[in-house]
Structure formats: structure tokens, C-alpha cells
């Protein structure tokens, strides 16, 4: 009986550590305009702010120019860049499904703030999302 309990506890600790590592290290993409403000529709943004997070701290950032808009392209393209999460204003349901199929977490309905403001609120668990303002 004690051995069984010990095994369960060990498995629980391993799972907990795996979850913590996943939460602590992220590569977040935010579609932005030329002023680094959230672009309302990710598929037509000028840039993606790519924010690399380790231990809940921003360690590096970059701006990527997306390829020309083509349905279904951006979810795969961003997943290939190692993106773990995307914070967007609006996004079509098909794109959300494609991101999820590629292992990318999607947060839609974000307010129109700068990428750094969005990231700060996200890391503090205070980012609020409204309805997805994309209708396709």
C-alpha cells in the first residue's frame, strides 16, 4: 500500500514539473502594426512581435514580417518558428483550429494595447479578453 502511494506521489511530482516547465518557458506571438500596437486581425498584420519568456521574464524579443496572407499559412508558419502562444484581437475559427492542431495556444479578444503591455498583463494573469472580433 505504501509503495502504491509513493508511486502516485512521484508521478504527480513529475507531471507537476512538466507543467511548470511548459508554463515558465514560452514563445509568444502578438500581431502588431507599425507602432507595435495589437493589430485587430492577425492575418493582415504588418508584423508579429515575438516575445521569448523564461521563468515568467521577458528575455528577448523580435519582430517578424509575415508572409503574404493566405488562408491556413500563418498557423503553420508560426508553429514552425516555435510559437507556443498567440495573443490576438480577432481570428477566424479555421485559424484557431489550425493553431490548436499545431500545438499553439490561442487567446483572442485581446484589447488594443502595445505588445509589451499585453505581455505584462498576460504574465500577471490580469489580461482580460472580450469576444473574438473576427466574423469568419
In the chain the domains, ranked by start, together with CATH numbers, are 25-123 (3.30.420.130)
pTM of the model: 0.79
Quote the mean pLDDT of the chain. 82
Residue 71 has pLDDT above 90, yes or no: no
Under 8 Å between Cβ of 74 and 15 = no
Q: What is the pLDDT of residues 120-136, one digit of tens each?
A: 999 999 999 887 756 54
Give the pLDDT confidence of 10-63 residue by residue, as tens digits. Answer: 333 333 334 444 456 899 999 999 999 999 878 889 999 999 999 889 999 999
In this predicted model, what pLDDT tens digit does every residue of 103-116 receive, in sequence order? 999 999 999 999 99
Q: Which residue has the higher pLDDT, 5 or 95?
A: 95
- What is the model's pLDDT at position 16? 34
102-109 long-range CB contacts below 8 Å, 24 or more apart? 102/75, 102/76, 102/78, 103/79, 104/75, 104/78, 104/79, 108/132, 108/134, 109/133
pLDDT at 85 over 90: yes
- pLDDT category of residue 8 using cuts at 50, 70 and 90: very low
Amino acid at each position: 500500500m505504501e509503495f502504491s502511494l509513493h508511486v502516485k506521489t512521484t508521478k504527480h511530482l513529475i507531471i507537476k514539473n512538466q507543467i511548470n516547465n511548459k508554463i515558465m518557458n514560452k514563445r509568444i506571438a502578438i500581431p502588431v502594426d507599425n507602432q507595435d500596437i495589437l493589430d485587430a486581425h492577425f492575418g493582415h498584420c504588418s508584423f508579429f512581435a515575438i516575445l521569448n519568456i523564461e521563468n515568467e521574464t521577458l528575455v528577448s524579443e523580435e519582430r517578424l514580417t509575415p508572409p503574404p496572407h493566405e488562408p491556413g499559412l500563418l498557423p503553420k508558419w508560426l508553429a514552425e518558428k516555435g510559437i507556443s502562444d498567440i495573443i490576438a484581437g480577432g481570428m477566424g475559427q479555421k485559424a484557431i483550429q489550425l493553431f490548436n492542431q499545431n500545438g499553439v495556444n490561442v487567446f483572442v479578444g485581446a484589447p488594443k494595447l502595445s505588445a509589451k503591455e499585453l505581455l505584462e498583463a498576460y504574465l500577471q494573469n490580469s489580461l482580460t479578453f472580450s469576444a473574438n472580433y473576427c466574423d469568419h
